[in-house]
Amino acid sequence: MSNTIRKGSSNISENLVTDEKLYRQRRQFVKTGIFSSAGLSLAAYFPTLAMAALSDLPNRISDAPNTRKLDGEALNTFEEITTYNNFYELGTGKSDPVENASALITDPWSVSVEGECEKPGTYNLEDILKPHNLEERIYRLRCVEAWSMVIPWIGFPLADLIQRFKPTSNAKYVAFETLYDENKPLPGQKRPNLDWPYREGLRMDEAMNPLTLMAVGLYGKPIPNQNGAPLRLVVPWKYGFKSIKSIVKISFVEKEPPTSWNMANAREYGFYSNVNPQIDHRRWSQKRERRIGEYFKRDTLMFNGYEEEVAHLYKGMDLAKHH
Amino acid sequence: MKSPGIKKIRWVLKPMVHGLSLIPFVMMVFGLINHTLGPNPAETLSHVSGEWGLRFLLITLTVTPLVRLTKSGWITGFRRLLGLYCFFYVFVHFLIYLILDLSLDFGFLAEDIFDRPYITVGFLGLVILAMLAITSPISIRQKMGRDWDSLHQFIYLAGILGIVHFLWITKADDTEPMMYGFVFLLLIGWRLVRKIGKNTSRPLT
């Protein structure tokens, strides 16, 4: 499958432009292939799955129209995106998340909304997703480890979700948490590599920026567990770890919330963690990155190439201090 | 253990050790050609070569304890070879970094060596291993006399630098470098205990 778009990792020049037709064909294949035959057999094994009200989600995802392309940069393959992951809840190795993916149970799923808002409460995933029109957006993803990908996400603007909860004027930040059950820890949560649960946060204006996406799918399919099913954040101008996966809690707070990597090492990982080639990680360079599928590195772009859309958020701020 | 004899060592055991030692390298080349190194082959090559460098350093340091514990002096004859494979894999590791990470830009290299401690220690380790490799031929060893012994004591520093290099690039999970560190400490500990037991002033071997 990976060879339909990228013939060989070294044949970069041939693949600079996404072959849209191939991708659409593949999506059609996926739709008819996976969701009819495999979907039926899955339903046979788990009758409750077929009953779930989320059953139309795969169709909504595969029908989502593209609203944002990325010219001149090839998509990473589905295989690359779903087998090379940082998701420490499922293990610290890059292939651990896909190998341990079945440990993450996403049905049923609910999200607790708390803090400075008029409509707190616990919402079922279907209630969270129901009113939103899903769209596909192709974004760069830049990991703090200096590798990157180009991913076709399917989701909806976080701003639209936030507005439904009617945050009060005290809500200056939004904090997120990933699933963590002390009694039933995920494989990677059995070791204190990070202080579980995983926590992330955004300033309110960052969260409301139109680029910030709540993703439920990728490549026309429901988001695989190893990529943060069933609901994850995508903040394309920040290092990947800011895009928290498998979200179970959203809280509106007045003060800058604690965030996992900042708690683990505040000198190396700031609250903002905007992609910035001029500010190196304390241990390694952030000037260049390796696009997965390529051997050599390329230059990293300011705000990961989204400068025009987000630079205004940080006007007058010392980006070295607020790294 | 009795020596298998010079002929068997030269024509059977040494070729066997060469063959085994080259397996990781052959696997790397094979994986590169067949695209089986995973989604990030450059990273895989870098990790695999670096880890084998560290493993061969530890294997080399295992020779002397093995000789003493099994009273098999002939095994010492393999130490030079194993040490050279340590340098070989560390050098391959460096070349992968220089070519794929730095695109052969020596300005980037200088910046990394001076500004990034994990590269500084890694590069120092490489320089030490290169000196040991260059002085490894028997003829040079004979010419250097006791200086050779002193110089080759630096293998221990290279080991420490290699483990620190690994530890300093780790993000949150330091299990692997700690495991290498543990084996290294065992090998050093054995030597220290033995040295104290004998109470001699001879250098460590």
pLDDT digits (tens, 9 = 90+) for A114-125: 999 999 999 999
What is the reported pLDDT for B2? 83
Between CA A35 and CA A33 the distance in angstroms is 6
Average pLDDT along chain B: 95
What is the reported pLDDT for A55? 83
Q: How far is A38 from chain B (nearest CA, A)?
A: 26
Average pLDDT value for residue range B171-189 = 94
Average pLDDT along chain A: 89
Helix (H) or strand (E) run with residue B27 in it: helix B14-34
ipTM metric: 0.89
Q: What are the residues facing A154 on neighbouring strands?
A: A136, A217
Of A7-21, A173-187, A242-256, B144-158, give the lowest mean pLDDT range: A7-21
- Would the pLDDT of B51 be above 80? yes
- Going by C-alpha positions, the residue among A93, A108, A101, A79 that lies closest to residue A226 is A101
- Would the pLDDT of A31 be above 70? no
Average pLDDT value for residue range B54-75 = 96
pLDDT band at B20 (very low <50, low <70, confident <90, very high): very high
pLDDT digits (tens, 9 = 90+) for A259-273: 999 999 999 999 999
**Cα angle value B199/B201/B204 (rounded, 5°):** 100
What is the reported pLDDT for B61? 98
Average pLDDT value for residue range B39-62 = 98
Please tell me the total number of residues recorded for chain B in this structure.
205
What is the reported pLDDT for B201? 58
pLDDT digits (tens, 9 = 90+) for A240-290: 999 999 999 999 999 999 999 999 999 999 999 999 999 999 999 999 999
What is the reported pLDDT for B171? 86
Helix (H) or strand (E) run with residue B46 in it: helix B41-70
Q: How far is A268 from chain B (nearest CA, A)?
A: 10
Buried b (16+ CB within 10 A) or exposed e, A219-249: bbbbbbbbbbbbbbbbbbbbbbbbbbbbbbb
Of A27-36, A184-193, A222-231, give the lowest mean pLDDT range: A27-36
What is the reported pLDDT for A105? 97
User: Dihedral sign, CA of A57, A165, A244, A203?
Assistant: positive
Between CA A112 and CA A247 the distance in angstroms is 9
Structure tokens at A168: 């009060």
Minimum CA–CA partner of B111 in chain A: A285
Between CA B149 and CA B204 the distance in angstroms is 9
Q: Do B172 and A80 count as a contact with CB atoms less than 8 A apart?
A: no
Average pLDDT value for residue range A209-214 = 98
What is the reported pLDDT for A50? 40
What share of chain A has pLDDT > 70, as a percent?
84
Of A3-7, A231-235, B27-31, give the lowest mean pLDDT range: A3-7
**Closest partner CB to A84 (pick from B38, B103, B115):** B38
- Would the pLDDT of B169 be above 70? yes
What is the reported pLDDT for A89? 98
Single-letter amino acid, residue A109? W
pLDDT digits (tens, 9 = 90+) for B133-168: 999 999 999 999 999 999 999 999 999 999 999 999
> Does domain A14-312 bear CATH number 3.90.420.10?
yes
DSSP string, B175-186: HHHHHHHHHHHH
Buried b (16+ CB within 10 A) or exposed e, B84-93: bbbbbbbbbb
Helices (H) and strands (E) in chain B, counts: 10, 0
> What phi and psi values does residue B183 have, to the nearest 5 degrees?
-60, -40
What is the reported pLDDT for A71? 94
What is the reported pLDDT for A127? 95
- Would the pLDDT of A34 be above 60? no
Structure tokens at B48: 């695999």
What is the reported pLDDT for A224? 98
What is the reported pLDDT for A25? 59
Minimum CA–CA partner of A78 in chain B: B39
Between CA B129 and CA B123 the distance in angstroms is 10
pLDDT band at A4 (very low <50, low <70, confident <90, very high): very low
What is the reported pLDDT for B62? 97
- Would the pLDDT of B193 be above 70? yes
Buried b (16+ CB within 10 A) or exposed e, A296-313: bbeebbbbbbbeeebeeb
B36 contact A CB<8A: no
Interface test with A, best of B36, B47, B171, B178 (most A CBs within 10 A): B171
Radius of gyration of chain A (CA): 19
A166 contact B CB<8A: no
Q: How far is B40 from chain A (nearest CA, A)?
A: 6
pLDDT digits (tens, 9 = 90+) for A63-104: 999 999 999 999 999 999 999 999 999 999 999 999 999 999
Between CA A49 and CA A107 the distance in angstroms is 8
Between CA A284 and CA A71 the distance in angstroms is 29
E strands in chain A: 66-68, 110-115, 121-124, 135-142, 147-157, 173-178, 199-203, 213-218, 221-222, 232-234, 247-253, 288-291, 298-299
**Between A and B, how many residue pairs show a Cβ–Cβ distance under 8 A?**
56
